[in-house]
Structure 1
């Protein structure tokens, strides 16, 4: 849900908080607390809580301030508060009676005389000065890490938070043990010209400050709403029948995921109906070992040493076999149950050949036009060849037939690269008779 100032402007982007659509994922509601006592009627206005909760750096740090002014503040107002030898600018996150519950949760007393005060509504000058000093933070992180590395300190600077007036800087660091940073503070004060405060945080707190997207696809819990970090160990994963895989069970911070504790109570309540001393069962085929417990179907899965198959057994059957084993009776079989899935099997769609069914008119027209042009060009070339061939053919025939007619011989084809052969005459079978006649006449 977006706040009241997230009106939509041109381009579909919110205009109020400038989060550009990140309200539902923690852009506006980062480390937010819902004020469910807002509409509670007050009988006596004098007993109204005068303490206001102020958040800094987009909700990564919160503190309580006393409202000594006559002005009533609402959630989302930017106010100027007392700082270390100066002032700071924050955003009002909670007002009213729910602030007393938050103070009780964190152990802060309302009558504490050391509680700082709200000075005024933030002016334009205060906001400009805060913006200028906030732009120094990324450069300060890079420079501070380089200085810590030069001094050979086993620590990591996670974040640097500048005060709105630029007189103080808080350096958040991570270290496995204690670090002697007395020399480091002197170098930081000389380098950045500010009052230095060093604050050690854990890996989970660093992930909450940096932020990110978890394996579930949502923004990290530690950066949106989770404030108390409970211890998480591998026993939690075993209760939930999860494989002990560090890469899958670890979060962005490198520690076990905090969400492993969310469903632990439900699993513990469901496991109370399962027997605890049934890790091994004796049957004729051998010893059956417990693999897992299914709290949703109330089944216990066992495996035999001679096969890799897993056998699901009901709780009553497991208790019966265990009671027989105590009486030194070994049953013949485990008698597993058949597990049927209630999910409907999705039928895969058959292959359909849609070649030729889908047509693109624009492409078809272009293709048809190209084919028509090609056909016209071929016809023109054929016509030109037909016009050239008869004239050249007549000339060749006339040239070859003229010497043939004069010599009384048939025209011959000329071959390139071959010698001209003499004309072959047919043998005259009447020659001897003509010779005889000539001889008689001569005689």
Structure 2
């Protein structure tokens, strides 16, 4: 049995000793130890309890200082439960949690004072109506939970066939059966409003369970299914990202990215969430870059803006009569613009450099690192070609 937070089923097992009144029984509890495993695929919304060794002075007399525990279920879904029975829990333990109808099995993902800070950040109120943890999962509970998970994939395929027969404009992405096999939650996405009353009747008669339909966005769907992004890493929405902010094409324009939908779209078909990661840095850097509405006038000709290096504060201009680009610092560009407004046409870019200041920037100096790389790889190619000739001889 895997950790049930991802599609990886090869998690390592660990032994857990359960003390009873008569005998201490050692059970082999499959799953992840310390909330993760060595398979590399069970890091869905993992969290590190960095307050595990700190006990607040005003905390109640419990083992971890706070009676509320965070439990993670399939697909990275998390919820909070009260530990009213003062169970000795460890991160990664499977527990039986109270639900509206029946019970469900999940893994402890966080406990202690860090849960209190999470509840405060998310503005969640804990009261008597909050569900409780009934007990630590036994081997029988784990077997029933594994049987419920084995029903997910066949039920998803059968439900998609029923949706096609009813010709509903919706996409079923995942199914989650409750551990007691009394309820099934179907996650779907749709661009328009769907009347699925007939679908619920057919699903309930097909699987003999209570059916709940839950609509999710395309970003949430990608997070539940998972996958690899164009960067080669797992999707952010399936590993750590929970808050999906609005992303517009202006984020790509600020970063001088090509407005190509195929490159800017993620697995969900929407704009990539990572477009917002460095947006603030680019916006701050662009504040010092002047807006050049028209070409610069010099006696040599009209110089047009070709590109801008916002981090090195350099703007490249080129004459229409030649293919060479001239790098200019921002201060020099502002000086030329001010002279052009006064009707003064400088002789060239270099004349503006006062005595005692640094000399004008040259393209060769700015591209020195590229020149070194070209020389390096050129020498390697020559040596490899000479070795091939020797082998032929």
Q: Same fold (TM over 0.5)?
A: yes
Query: What residue in structure 2 maps to residue 416 of structure 1?
Result: none
- 1:338 aligned residue (362, 369, 377): 362
Bigger RCO (CA 8 Å, 6+ sep): 2
Query: What residue in structure 1 maps to residue 166 of structure 2?
Result: 151
Rounded to whole Å, the distance in 1 between the matches of 2:80 and 2:339 is: 66
Q: Which runs of no fewer than 5 residues in structure 2 stay unpaired?
A: 1-10, 15-29, 351-359
Query: What residue in structure 2 maps to residue 247 of structure 1?
Result: 262
Task: After TM superposition, give the deviation of residue 234 of structure 1 in Å.
Answer: 1.6
Larger CA deviation: 41-50 vs 313-322: 41-50
Query: What residue in structure 2 maps to residue 272 of structure 1?
Result: 287
1:294 partnered with 2:309: yes
Contact 1:281 1:322 (C-alpha < 8 Å) held by counterparts: no
Query: What residue in structure 1 maps to residue 21 of structure 2?
Result: none
Task: After TM superposition, give the deviation of residue 26 of structure 1 in Å.
Answer: 5.2
Partner secondary structure for residue 355 of structure 1: helix
Task: After TM superposition, give the deviation of residue 107 of structure 1 in Å.
Answer: 2.1
Note the alpha carbon deviations across 1:194-244, whole angstroms, 9 max, x for none.
Answer: 111111111111111111111111111111111111111221112112222
Rounded to whole Å, the distance in 2 between the matches of 1:302 and 1:238 is: 20
1:54 partnered with 2:65: no
Query: What residue in structure 1 maps to residue 22 of structure 2?
Result: none
How large is the RMSD of aligned CA atoms in angstroms?
A: 2.7
Distance 1:194 1:108, change over 3 A: same
Query: What residue in structure 1 maps to residue 356 of structure 2?
Result: none
The residue correspondences of 1:421-432 to structure 2 (distance < 5 A) are none
Note the alpha carbon deviations across 1:252-282, whole angstroms, 9 max, x for none.
Answer: 111111111111122222222222x323233
Rounded to whole Å, the distance in 2 between the matches of 1:305 and 1:235 is: 30
Rounded to whole Å, the distance in 2 between the matches of 1:290 and 1:356 is: 52
Rounded to whole Å, the distance in 2 between the matches of 1:355 and 1:200 is: 65
1:283 partnered with 2:297: yes
- 1:137 aligned residue (124, 146, 152): 152
- Relative to the length of structure 2, the TM-score reads 0.79
Task: After TM superposition, give the deviation of residue 98 of structure 1 in Å.
Answer: 0.6
Rounded to whole Å, the distance in 1 between the matches of 2:152 and 2:289 is: 56
Larger strand fraction of residues: 2
- 2:189 aligned residue (162, 174, 179): 174
Rounded to whole Å, the distance in 1 between the matches of 2:60 and 2:338 is: 70
Query: What residue in structure 2 maps to residue 314 of structure 1?
Result: 329
Q: Which runs of no fewer than 5 residues in structure 1 stay unpaired?
A: 1-12, 358-443
- Relative to the length of structure 1, the TM-score reads 0.71
- 1:90 aligned residue (92, 106, 109): 106
Larger CA deviation: 328-337 vs 236-245: 328-337
